[in-house]
Structure 1
């Protein structure tokens, strides 16, 4: 008996069939298409048909999610028409299976808390540094969702009032300074180019900083300093045991981790463990499966 975990991103959907031991036994990726819901239903039902041992479905997605109702309460035009979709009720009716829905960063946090870098900690904050800046807070195995599904939307904390306008429409959100998108904007603004006069990637930026490129060093220092402010501000609110940093930008963390630690240390109110994520691109999918895995496992054990 198994469950299905689905991770919905702006460009691809990753679907994994996970057994009761938390092992991914089938990993399937398809491109994201819009309108999203009808396409998602077709993809999920096909896997359920091929694998009748699936007992429940967990879905992690971009945007804010009312986890109790399984409704997308906010999403930008990255996924047009997704906002307002009643995913849980629609997919339960179509599949005949239990469905749970949550934000993708929350799902990544659940995976790291239960099985990954933060296993054994009671209160974990997971930050996902990718196209944007996501966050998920897990306490004693439970995700903090908030009233409208917007808890721990750390990318939309105001970091610089009156700053760069965010995709949410407000100026100065933290993900406009701490994300892959932000780094690419800084690179373009400073015209940091390679030997072919092409703008460098964030990974190349960090390497240039290590090699002594002064402008790249300044951008890297600003990025790590801003990330440190975000973490210290969240510590003042959440008092977490552990912070896990994941997402695509974290793959280059060898180049900037020491800078982050030196920026963060004087800002912390209390000691804090900061770790790199154990799971890469599969974190959201695995965490989505965990939304339903424990309950289904317990239910099966009682039969």
Structure 2
């Protein structure tokens, strides 16, 4: 039997089959078309379930999704304007009642953190903080390979942390980096992305180098702030620009030494995500398995 894993992001829906041993057997993706709203996304997910149920012996459906998720009720309880009418979408009820399959859903950043904790960079860390750096900044705290949800399933919404110059995600996200570089070059934002910024920085573009240095310092400030509260053994960084680990690791380590007390800093390991584009699907699978251990 296999599990259908579906990772719902703002741009793409990744999906495929994972066997009982945790091996991804196949992986595909389709556009999310987030602008069409929650009901359209639910319809896409239901169509995938229907198609796979017709040809596979499915044990269940494991979902990872953007937005704030109640993993007990199996529904979205908050979503930003990027996905209209998404809050209130009841994936678990609709799939279990409509298709007779067990269904579990978890937040996408929590899934990424869980995947790293179970089989990725932080699998040996009892307390691990996973940050995804992209349009905003998402966070997941795992303790002994279990997600810490907080009192109302909203723990580690770290992007909203207030730093001296603004919120963490307004200062240290890829969006912030691109906006900074475009402004200093007096270019439209559309002319720049993270990949180009790092290419130009490596080629000697001082504006790009300085913008990356600013982002690194703000990132260290945010990590230090979180570390004073939760004291992780390891921080794992994911998201597109974190593929530039060879460029980022040394300056980020130095920045952490400036912002974090030595007694904490020397006991904190810094790592980069291993699972990358499969993190959401794998994390959804691990979450499903924790709820439905094989008999």
Confirm or deny a common fold (TM above 0.5): yes
* TM superposition shift of 1:2: 2.0
Distance 1:227 1:121 in 2: 21
Unaligned runs of 5+ in 2: none
Indicate the larger mover: 201-210 or 88-97: 201-210
The answer for the alignment partner of 2:233 in structure 1 is 241
Distance 1:148 1:56 in 2: 26
Q: How many residues align?
A: 285
Q: Deviations over 1:188-222 (max 9, x none)?
A: 211276xxxx8333222223333433222221111
The answer for the alignment partner of 1:25 in structure 2 is 25
The answer for the alignment partner of 2:276 in structure 1 is 280
The answer for the alignment partner of 2:160 in structure 1 is 156
The answer for the alignment partner of 1:258 in structure 2 is 250
Q: Deviations over 1:73-94 (max 9, x none)?
A: 1111211111121222122112
Q: Which runs of 4+ in 1 moved over 3 A?
A: none
Within the alignment, does 1:113 sit opposite 2:108 as a pair?
Answer: no
The answer for the alignment partner of 2:285 in structure 1 is 289
The answer for the alignment partner of 2:45 in structure 1 is 40
* TM superposition shift of 1:280: 1.2
What is the RMSD of the two structures over their aligned residues, measured on CA atoms?
Answer: 1.9
Distance 1:150 1:36 in 2: 22
Residues 65 and 148 in structure 1, CA contact (< 8 A), matched pair in contact too: no
Residues 92 and 104 in structure 2, CA contact (< 8 A), matched pair in contact too: yes
Please state whether the residue corresponding to 1:244 is helix, strand or coil.
strand
Distance 2:99 2:119 in 1: 28
Residues 206 and 256 in structure 1, CA contact (< 8 A), matched pair in contact too: no
Q: TM-score, normalised by structure 2?
A: 0.90
Distance 1:279 1:272 in 2: 21
Residues 137 and 173 in structure 2, CA contact (< 8 A), matched pair in contact too: yes
Indicate the larger mover: 130-139 or 40-49: 40-49
Distance 1:66 1:44 in 2: 21
Q: TM-score, normalised by structure 1?
A: 0.88
Distance 2:136 2:113 in 1: 16
Q: Deviations over 1:77-115 (max 9, x none)?
A: 211111121222122112212111111000000000000
Within the alignment, does 1:100 sit opposite 2:104 as a pair?
Answer: yes
Residues 121 and 242 in structure 1, CA contact (< 8 A), matched pair in contact too: yes
* TM superposition shift of 1:139: 0.8
Normalized per residue, the structure richer in helix is: 2
* TM superposition shift of 1:180: 1.7
Within the alignment, does 1:145 sit opposite 2:131 as a pair?
Answer: no
The answer for the alignment partner of 2:14 in structure 1 is 14
Distance 1:265 1:102 in 2: 34
Match of 1:215 among 202, 207, 210: 207
Residues 2 and 19 in structure 2, CA contact (< 8 A), matched pair in contact too: yes
* TM superposition shift of 1:38: 1.8
Residues 131 and 139 in structure 2, CA contact (< 8 A), matched pair in contact too: yes
Residues 178 and 223 in structure 1, CA contact (< 8 A), matched pair in contact too: yes
* TM superposition shift of 1:263: 0.4
Residues 123 and 145 in structure 2, CA contact (< 8 A), matched pair in contact too: no
Distance 2:186 2:127 in 1: 39
Distance 1:121 1:256 in 2: 22
The answer for the alignment partner of 2:294 in structure 1 is 299
